[in-house]
Amino acid sequence: MQTSNFRNLTGERLVFSKGINLISGRNGEGKTNLLEAIATLGNVRSFRTRNVSKIVAQGKNRFAVLGEVVGRDGKVILETSVDVGPPVRRRLSVGHKSVSAPEYLLTFPVVALTREDSDLVMGPPQGRRSFLDRLTFQLDPGHYDRLIRYRKGLANRNAALGVGATDREIEAWEVELARYAAAVIIARRTTLERISERFSAVWEALSVSEFPRLTLRYKMEAWGEENSHEELEKQYRERYAGQRRRDRDAGFTLSGPHRHDVAIEAAGRLARDHLSTGQIKLVGAGLRIAALELLEAARGETLPVLIDDVDAELDQTSVQRLMIRASSNRQLFVTSARMRPAAFAQLEATRLRMEGGVCRAIGETANE
């Protein structure tokens, strides 16, 4: 992998181990920046920010990440480059050929476990919807088109509401909006059913006996929770028509998938109200790993995992359980401020050191 103008990374060519890569270094030396670059190579966007101007090196207006990856179809060169603008311009290539975002995103998905995973439990619904939509797209690429069409229909209806369009004009947008609202919901539900069983197994492996049993539930308007695609489409058309005056007053559409959530519950109550900080972080990591395992089973290959600050906010037992579940025959990139984290006592790893944006190999460690 090689970077250009990516935060404080110096841009030297890096070759990583196929197993565990343990990256140590003091705060501010670039450990998280390195993981962020790997995530950007695979997933296009950073796990830390959507503002690309925060990623580019000071005084520069363009950054890039290039890497050779090996997957089920052999070796391929990936590159993502961004002109931070304004306007922002992004170029994606696979095998030196320009490709669309959906095609690129399916090539080399990377799973990142970070501090931000707590937001999957504690944060607003948008983060959980995004998590579910991305996994749905990875399992069913047609979901990308559903989301685009739904968002377009939503924007058109909202615009019509805002300019005082007639009921007849607004109704024309509602027909398509209802169709894709139903399609998005059914696809999300299908994915959530699939990940729920996997998450239960992951959570059991990560948690200890006193941790509560957790369940996932798709949270939407109560009247549509059990309905089929056809029933949902019909009900949304009726709801949009019946709530048109209310939506005119608000200036936007108040019902639909853009307002739904994934409820993480313990005994029917929101889990976030009953978990410690460490438990919340572990739930977020468990959701990421469950999604990873589901995606790997569908693709028939293992995928890289990034773990930032592996031993922060978690006790040693939780870290060890997390590492065992995450490291199963996968390429791992793990950062820690410690040279020899206790969680690696029984694991073999290639050690690297970050200093001033430079990554240097230290050597192999085994049973340290």
- For residue 216 the two structure tokens come to 């996932």
What confidence score (pLDDT) does residue 319 get? 86
Supply 300's token pair: 């028939």
For residue 339, what pLDDT is reported?
61
pLDDT digit string, tens, across residues 205-238:
998 777 889 999 999 999 998 899 999 999 999 9
Whole-angstrom distance, CA of residue 286 vs CA of residue 297: 16
Q: Which residue in this structure is represented by tokens 């948008």?
A: 126
Cα torsion 93, 94, 99, 105: sign: negative
Rounded Cα distance between 344 and 333, Å, is 13
The pLDDT score that the predictor gives to residue 10 is: 94
Between the alpha carbon of residue 190 and those of residues 108, 181, 185, 261, the distances in Å are: 23, 14, 9, 15
> Which residues of the chain, if any, have pLDDT below 70?
339-346, 363-368
Q: Which domains does the chain have, with CATH numbers?
A: 122-275 (1.20.1050.90)
What is the reported pLDDT for 231?
97
* Residue 208 one-letter amino acid: V
pLDDT of residue 312: 79
Helices (H), ranges, the chain: 31-43, 101-105, 119-122, 125-139, 142-162, 167-206, 229-242, 244-250, 277-299, 316-326
CA–CA separation, 117 and 127 (whole Å): 9
- Closest listed residue to residue 139, CA positions, set 307, 254, 293, 275: 293
pLDDT for 349? 85
Instruction: Give me the pLDDT at residue 73, please.
Output: 81
pLDDT at residue number 363: 56
pLDDT at 344: 62
What are the structure tokens assigned to 156, written together? 């058109």
- DSSP string over 219-238: E--GGGTT--HHHHHHHHHH
Q: How many residues does the chain have?
A: 368
Q: What pLDDT score does 209 carry?
A: 73
Closest C-alpha among 356, 335, 339 to residue 32: 335
Q: Supply the pLDDT for residue 101.
A: 95
